[in-house]
Structure 1
Amino acid sequence: MSDPAANLSPLADTVQVLAFDIFGTVVDWHGSIVRELQALVPDVDADAFATAWRAGYAPAMAAVMRGEQPWTLIDALHRQILETLLPRFGLAHLHEAARAHLNRVWHRLQPWPDSVAGLGQLKQRFIVVSLSNGNLDLLTRMAKRAGLPWDAVLSAEVFRAYKPDPATYLGVARTFDVPPDAVMLVAAHHDDLAGARACGLRTAYIERPLEFGAARPKDVSPRAENDLHAASLTDLARQLGASGPDAATGAPWNT
């Protein structure tokens, strides 16, 4: 019988905190928005709408970071982007209640099939926290609805800085009073991981080939600069020794 402990990453014994990117890594933003929009307005091109909404995300945050507008929560930025999209997609007729409900779709994003189980396994051995540009209200309501078992909800709102500002990554280490290399960022985006790595954090890439929908598959090939590469959060739990009954103590187990 093989010894599962022999296949563990050495980081299993040095990392204490796993900080997770959320949109695309833990939850399926594209599929969730497409499903809700199709139910609300069946005739719209929901795939193109979801893609365009997300495309406005980085430029909106950049405007805040450049000081062109004051600190703004992601909920408000999402609404600003939404208001520009509605006329483009023939939806200018939507009334305020429908617009507000649609904007809160970001609170209702569905987890990927492996996310809840993977987080539950990882939580046996590590502190698991969100580290998202999403605001606290959004992340908390999303977690409660989706059953995401965070030990803590951290957000750009806490640090008043959007990723990849070092204040976000280093803020996690300060929050838990650990050195940066005791924190691992888990994300499906290489730019996010690069920002974390520049601050001394460990990094794990998660494959989400369908983040942008089936029509736009992502290249999820491994990159040498990341410490770990996993097909899913349950795969990451396996690599970090958090998928067995004795994961809380780090003791080996048999399968």
Structure 2
Amino acid sequence: MSHPTALAGTVRVLAFDVFGTVVDWHGSIVREMARLHPQVDGDAFALAWREGYRPAMARVMRGELGWTRIDDLHRMILDDILPRFGLQGLGEAERAHLNRAWHRLDPWPDSVAGLERLKRRYTVCTLSNGNIGLLTDMAKRAGLPWDCVLSAEVFRAYKPDPATYRGVAQVFDLQPEQVMLVAAHHDDLEGARACGLRTAYIERPLEFGAARPKDVSPRPENDLHCADFLALADALGA
């Protein structure tokens, strides 16, 4: 870890990526499918649903689609993959309920306690491509103690658009280096770093399930590398 005490004195806001970093999307979707549609391979279903996420966002970024909330992108992807899993017969109410599974994602075991510690010393907010309603519902259900919910929806741009990272600093009237992005994804951290933000990498080796462990090796370009949010709180003196 590089100079956590020095960082603790300069960083004011911690902005968190959410899907995969704060909440376990894969495990949560697998559990939803086991409950709602036990005949379906929940692991394959979760991965297929998530695989559609970047291509769908890319269509918005290229201008093929107008600004679209993640809830609506998730629904487009869901409607597309249902036939592959024998679920094309689901009615509208069932589809709408299943789509809101993303509002019901469970936090990683350290997330709530880690955020509560960090919140005592720092402003903690989301910086997610998820829309505000989704993130708020998720926080309410999971007990995530955000000071503020910031979303791509606020900036009308998806990460890694610089407008999102710079936007956090602008919202709080801070210099970029007073904001730290906390994420389990190196591409997200790279985008933040290019805009002058500090970066903390969080290991989430099981993001894609136990069968597909992630390489969580440290990379020197990140300011901090932490096993979880409790270790981040230790590093930042919270």
Shorter-chain TM-score category? over 0.9
Report the residue type matching 2:77 in the other structure.
Answer: I
Superposed CA offset, 1:182-221 (max 9, x none): 0000000000000000000000000000000001000000
Three-state SS of the structure 2 residue aligned to 1:137 is helix
Query: How far apart, in 2, do the equivalents of 1:9 and 1:155 lie?
Result: 29
Percent identity between matched residues is 75
Task: Tell me the CA shift for residue 222 of structure 1.
Answer: 0.3
Q: Which residue of 1 aligns with 2:208?
A: 212
Superposed CA offset, 1:47-98 (max 9, x none): 0010010011011001000000100000000000000110011110111111
Query: How far apart, in 2, do the equivalents of 1:126 and 1:61 lie?
Result: 31
Query: How far apart, in 1, do the equivalents of 2:162 and 2:192 lie?
Result: 7
Question: Which structure features the higher share of helix residues?
Answer: 2
What aligned pairs does 1:157-172 form with structure 2 within 5 A after superposition? 157-172=153-168
* Cα RMSD after superposing both structures: 0.7
Who wins on radius of gyration, i.e. which is larger? Answer: 1
Query: How far apart, in 2, do the equivalents of 1:182 and 1:38 lie?
Result: 43
Query: How far apart, in 2, do the equivalents of 1:34 and 1:94 lie?
Result: 18
Q: Which residue of 2 aligns with 1:139?
A: 135
Picking from 36, 57, 60, the partner of 1:40 is 36
Query: How far apart, in 1, do the equivalents of 2:72 and 2:101 lie?
Result: 13
Superposed CA offset, 1:129-169 (max 9, x none): 00000000000010011000000000000000000000000
Report the residue type matching 2:228 in the other structure.
Answer: S
Query: How far apart, in 1, do the equivalents of 2:232 and 2:5 lie?
Result: 10
User: Is 1:102 matched up with 2:103?
Assistant: no
Query: How far apart, in 1, do the equivalents of 2:65 and 2:23 lie?
Result: 28
Task: Tell me the CA shift for residue 230 of structure 1.
Answer: 0.3
Query: How far apart, in 1, do the equivalents of 2:108 and 2:73 lie?
Result: 24
Superposed CA offset, 1:108-134 (max 9, x none): 000000000000000010000000000
User: Is 1:227 matched up with 2:223?
Assistant: yes
Three-state SS of the structure 2 residue aligned to 1:68 is coil
User: Is 1:58 matched up with 2:51?
Assistant: no
Query: How far apart, in 1, do the equivalents of 2:171 and 2:99 lie?
Result: 30
- Normalization by structure 1: what TM-score? 0.92
List gaps (5 residues or longer) in structure 1. 1-6, 243-255
Task: Tell me the CA shift for residue 9 of structure 1.
Answer: 3.4
Query: How far apart, in 2, do the equivalents of 1:216 and 1:62 lie?
Result: 25
Three-state SS of the structure 1 residue aligned to 2:121 is coil
What aligned pairs does 1:75-224 form with structure 2 within 5 A after superposition? 75-224=71-220
